[in-house]
Amino acid sequence: MANERHTDHRGWEVDSSTRQSVHSYTKYDPFREALSTTASTLKTLAQGEIATNWVTNPSIEGTDVGMFTATGSAIARDTGQYDDGAASLSVNPDDSDAGEGFYWDSPTIPFSTSPQHITIQCTVRGASASGAVTMTLRDSAGTSTLATGGSHSLTTSYARQTAQYTIPALTDGASYRLYVVSTAQHNINFNVDKIMFEVREDTTAVSTYLDGNQGINYEWTGTANLSISVKKADMSVLRGIQIKNESSSSGEIVYVAFDCTATATTGIPILAGETFETNYPLDFRKSVSVISASGTPTVKGVMWGIAGY
């Protein structure tokens, strides 16, 4: 905020609510990192992106591809090509017409008094740099095109395709279809990976692709690679830390600081071979900074915290 004055001091710090003070730690972040004599940020505390992916088996890691329906093509799981994980969906057009590929049917999006924003995305590559494909969002019958990512000329590298459509407020509940098909008739095989369908009310922006296999804060709502997946909030409030200086050299002192840049004067010193661990709840909301007095010692440990909405 511009033009800060000392009279604004009440807004410079956050006083944890009673609810937050007894909140169990639901976030953790293990780390192991080599440092230097230049300060580095061990973690930036931020809520991050929260998102959902309604496509089950979106990266084709599961063997069941029955959630996708071929249209004018043959489709199969392919472990020889992939953009994420170890598989993708292979599409072999019949070469008899345009619009050959596959579609995916969404669950019913219920009636809402507010607009609802659908975003779709995937990545595609061709067996050769020839032919073109188009990703579209259509109605439940597949007859009306509501949004398109435009025609994409295939290359032998994966390329991300996106599209967005806003369901007007007071629209009856309905399902929708995500299509990836040939733009014009061709017989070039193509692969599709990282398929995502999301519904939001807060933004029309296309979220970063997610599935439940991507690590901390990502999870499946049911069976892995066969259910909706979510990206939960990241740690935005640091409540505790354990950090060990793995060095055996006495000169390699590590300094750790919270919400400011670590130096020998602002940081808490951790001598070689020692561990610093908080045994009381913290409440820092910006960053964890570290620096070494000399050399390149490695630190390891874990941070604990909450989302702190």
Residue 239 pLDDT: 95
Q: Is there a domain that residue 209 lies in?
A: yes
Same domain, 172 and 298: no
Q: Count of CB atoms within 10 A of residue 97's CB?
A: 12
E strands along 81-208, which residues? 88-93, 101-105, 116-126, 132-138, 145-153, 159-167, 177-182, 190-200
Token readout for 193 is: 């990976």
Strand partners, 105: 177
Q: Is there a domain that residue 226 lies in?
A: yes
pLDDT confidence bin for 213, thresholds 50/70/90: very high
- In the chain the first and final C-alpha atoms are separated, in Å, by 21
CB 259 within 8 A of CB 87: no
CA distances from 129 to 188, 192, 193 (A): 9, 15, 17
Once rounded to an integer, what is the mean pLDDT over residues 65-80?
98
Once rounded to an integer, what is the mean pLDDT over residues 143-166?
98
Amino acid at residue number 110:
P
Distance CA 39, CA 32 (A): 16
CA distances from 250 to 59, 154, 268, 295 (A): 48, 58, 16, 11
Once rounded to an integer, what is the mean pLDDT over residues 234-238?
96
Q: Is there a domain that residue 190 lies in?
A: yes
Residue 14 pLDDT: 78
Residue 19 has pLDDT above 80, yes or no: no
CA distances from 37 to 3, 22, 40, 94, 263 (A): 33, 37, 9, 61, 9
285 three-state secondary structure: coil
CATH of the domain at 195: 2.60.120.260
Greatest Cα pair distance, the chain, in angstroms, is: 74
Q: Is there a domain that residue 42 lies in?
A: yes
Same domain, 93 and 207: yes
Distance CA 95, CA 72 (A): 8
Same domain, 241 and 301: yes
Q: Is there a domain that residue 73 lies in?
A: yes
18 three-state secondary structure: helix
pLDDT confidence bin for 36, thresholds 50/70/90: very high
What is the per-residue pLDDT across 137-154, written as a single tens digit (0 to 9) for each? 999 999 999 999 999 999
Residue 78 pLDDT: 98
Same domain, 138 and 276: no
Q: Is there a domain that residue 87 lies in?
A: yes
Q: Is there a domain that residue 37 lies in?
A: yes
Same domain, 221 and 245: no
Range of the domain at 260: 22-48+234-306
Same domain, 44 and 140: no
Residue 46 pLDDT: 97
Same domain, 81 and 206: yes
* Domains in the chain, number: 2
Same domain, 192 and 74: yes
Q: Which of 181, 214, 231 is the last residue of a domain?
A: 231
Token readout for 222 is: 């049911």
**Closest-CA residue to 180 (of 283, 68, 256):** 68
What order do you get walking across the sheet with 101-105 strand by strand? Answer: 68-71, 101-105, 177-182, 132-138, 145-153
Token readout for 170 is: 């007071």
Residue 17 pLDDT: 77
Same domain, 152 and 271: no
Q: Which of 231, 255, 281 is the last residue of a domain?
A: 231
- Average pLDDT taken over every residue of the chain: 96
Those residues with Cβ within 8 angstroms of residue 50's Cβ, 6 or more apart along the chain or in another chain: 231, 232, 233
CATH of the domain at 245: 2.60.120.770
Residue 81 has pLDDT above 60, yes or no: yes
Q: Which of 168, 197, 231 is the last residue of a domain?
A: 231
Between these two residues, 309 and 130, which has the higher pLDDT value?
A: 130
Q: Is there a domain that residue 6 lies in?
A: no
CB 267 within 8 A of CB 287: no
CB 177 within 8 A of CB 79: no
Residue 1 pLDDT: 55
Exposed e or buried b for every residue in 138-160, given b needs 16+ CB within 10 A? beeebeeebbbbeebebeeebeb
Same domain, 128 and 83: yes
What is the per-residue pLDDT across 237-294, written as a single tens digit (0 to 9) for each? 999 999 999 999 999 999 999 999 999 999 999 999 999 999 888 999 999 999 999 9
Same domain, 182 and 284: no
Same domain, 55 and 187: yes
